[in-house]
Amino acid sequence: MDVKKEKIGFIGLGIMGLPMARNLMKDGFELVVYNRTRSKCTELEEKGAIIANNPADVATNAKVIITMVTDSPDVQELLLGEEGIMETIQKDSIVIDMSTISPKITKELNAELNSKGCYMIDAPVSGGSWGAIEGTLSIMIGGAKSAYERCVPLFESMGKNIIYTGESGMGQTTKLVNQILVAGTMNAVAEALVFAAKSGADLEKTIDAVGGGAAASWQLNNLAPRIVKGDFDPGFMIKLQQKDLRLVIETAQAMNVPIPGTSLASQMFASLLSKGLGDEGTQALVKAYETLAGVEART
């Protein structure tokens, strides 16, 4: 299979999926797209993509199918549900799931696909909506190596740091490692900014000073400037971060690995979900610390 000559199925045109699909089209890939809410297909339809009526319809028209949806049950539904991919999948097809879901469910779905002579590649991403737009995502890949190798041109169209990490589920496991780091760092940034605000520090100067030294991080350098301006639009929504932390906690519990730092971050995010702030970006974690300290970290 030469992936450059294949029609590519793409399911899930959300914050991440739409710009990723756009980049594939920019690089000349012919797309068959499906999104549950059809109105989100308009832009790609105008650019020449074929619009499918359901996931089964995608699998009829494409042997390489990318999924970028929310959580494990959503990927299960796309594959195994009514009018799902499994109803019409052709032998030797490859499903590339780029959503962040459970490593365990990934392995189960891969086994289902293998039973039909097909493959599942898990290829979750990091780099946020900005990385999706710019085509600079980090992509962490698990699954059959031969299937991965055939799909490299697709990954190169959507990302820059493309790492094959091992057998089915390993891409998702690597992504959970990423989420431990991301949530812990966001937690530290929120705590630090509230400390600085209560101390009467100039917040912009503080970010410039510490962001150029050993404390630099993607969260500090990209999200802290947005926090102090009061910009809480998502990038990455709190409700999705909390979904990922649930996956981390479940996986850690199954291995008896203590993860106190991640658990704390998850509790702080929970306080924001209970206030109905799940659709805000993860930088809104600062609001949980602001409530505790009675101060706002804004310029």
- Chain positions contacting ligand NAP, by CB under 6 A: 12-17, 35-37, 40, 68-70, 74, 77-78, 99-100, 125-126, 128-129, 235-236, 240, 244
Of 54 and 206, nearer to ligand NAP (C-beta) is: 54
Neighbours of 273 (CB within 10 A): 13
Distance CA 285, CA 239 (A): 12
Q: Which distant-in-sequence residues (6+ apart) come within 8 Å of 10 by Cβ?
A: 17, 20, 21, 24, 31, 32, 33, 34, 49, 58, 65, 66, 68
CB nearer to ligand NAP: give 27 or 77. 77
Q: Considering the complex, state which of residue 110 and residue 178 has its C-beta at the smaller distance from ligand NAP.
A: 178
In whole angstroms, how close is the CB of 279 to ligand NAP at the nearest point?
A: 9
Q: Residue 83 has which token pair? A: 């009018």
For every residue of 136-204, DSSP letters joined together read -EEEEEES-HHHHHHHHHHHHHHEEEEEEEESTTHHHHHHHHHHHHHHHHHHHHHHHHHHHHHTT--HH
State which residue, 172 or 206, has the beta carbon closest to ligand NAP.
Answer: 172
Residue with tokens 């937690």: 187
**Cβ burial 131-169 (10 Å sphere, 16+ → b, else e):** bbbebebbbbbbbbeebbebbeebbebbbeebebbeebb
| Catalytic residue (one of 5, 40, 145, 175) | 175
- Residue at 254: amino acid letter: A
Residue 30 C-beta: closest distance to ligand NAP, Å? 20
* Residues 182 and 283: beta-carbon distance below 8 Å: no
CB 110, min distance to ligand NAP, A: 17
Closest approach, Cβ 179 to ligand NAP, in A, equals 9
User: Closer to ligand NAP at the Cβ: 29 or 234?
Assistant: 234
Closest distance to ligand NAP from the beta carbon of 238 (Å): 11
Instruction: Identify the three-state secondary structure at position 26.
Output: helix
User: What distance lies between CA 134 and its chain's CA centroid?
Assistant: 15
Residue nearest to ligand NAP (CB): 14
Known catalytic residue: 26?
Answer: no
Q: Which is nearer to ligand NAP, 139 or 207 (CB)?
A: 139
What is the smallest separation between the CB atom of 63 and ligand NAP, expressed in angstroms?
20
Q: Which of 275, 131, 299 is nearest to 227 (CA)?
A: 299
Task: Give Cα separations from 95 to 60, 257, 287 (angstroms).
Answer: 13, 31, 39
| Residue 299 to residue 279: CA distance in whole angstroms | 23
Catalogue the active-site residues. 175
